[in-house]
Amino acid sequence: MTYTQLKAEAGIDFSKCTLHRLLDVYNITKWRAAKRPLLTQEHADVRLKWAKDHIVWDLDKWKYIIWSDECSVVWGSGKDREWVFRMPSQKWDKEIIEQTPKGKGVSVMVWAAFSGAGGRSELIILDRDFESKKHGYSANSYIQVLEKAIPTLWEPGFLFMQDNAPIHKAKKTMKWFQDRGIPVIKWPPYSPDMNPIEQIWFQLKKLVYEVNPDIDNLPGSDEKVREELGKALKEAWERIPQKYFDALWKSMERRCQAVVEAKGWQTKY
């Protein structure tokens, strides 16, 4: 609610300044609500049980999990917002407008994985399946990625982690894992906060601008832009320091603890 709404709800008639001072006394402030996946009580119960079952794992167990995920990267999404120091009357001067790429909406779907024991995979660009109903990313697209990446990542003793996306849970995908004897962790629903690779994507998008600071000015068709964005993403992926990956998989006990403390509901991760 706004401060005006708060005054009305509380039935008070003093000024906003007085209200601000009063709230400061009790260290009450306001912020935009954090966004997380919608959870039901059933989801929270499953998440809580999973966290309790796994919080007792030591680093030697977490080390042998292959964490995987996909991410859609939109052209321009990793750029820091620019701050301007001017007079208010200059707000719309063309020289200080942050202009967005004309091809806004061009995106690339990428997949990657890593583990503490086996290191990182290469960053793979997913291909759309034009034989599927909506010409989107299908189980066939995903299996093509697995065929390429898993031989470089998996060894006996490792566990594979994937979330519950439809292309992951498709019968042909699960059969692919079964046929090769690769165990897949049963993952709790709507739990990106427990998948450490999720935090890699923000870092990746930012690094794209270090790799190619002029990427906003790419000429050519959307397909050419998509190709160049894919190249920049792959180079940025290789530049992410190894210590960053190590810190993420070693955070799993803390993530489980956070879920337990939240009784299965959303956490800060």
CATH of the domain at 58: 3.30.420.10
Same domain, residue pair 116 and 26: no
- Whole-prediction pTM: 0.84
Same domain, residue pair 5 and 68: no
Average pLDDT over every residue of 91-120: 82
Same domain, residue pair 22 and 116: no
* pLDDT at residue 79, rounded to an integer: 67
- Which residue type, as a one-letter code, is found at position 174? M
In a domain? residue 89: no
Contacts 24+ apart (CB under 8 A), 120-126: 120/237, 120/245, 121/149, 121/152, 121/153, 122/149, 122/152, 122/234, 122/237, 123/204, 123/233, 123/234, 123/237, 123/238, 124/148, 124/149, 125/230, 125/233, 125/234, 126/70
pLDDT confidence of 153, banded at 50, 70, 90? very high
Question: Range of 159's domain?
Answer: 41-78+112-261
In a domain? residue 11: yes
Average pLDDT over every residue of 245-269: 97
Q: Is the pLDDT of residue 103 over 60?
A: no
pLDDT confidence of 192, banded at 50, 70, 90? very high
Burial (CB count within 10 angstroms: exposed 0-12, middle 13-18, buried 19+), residue 235: middle
In a domain? residue 86: no
List, for residues 230-250, the tens digit of each pLDDT value: 999 999 999 999 999 999 999
Average pLDDT over every residue of 113-119: 97
In a domain? residue 186: yes
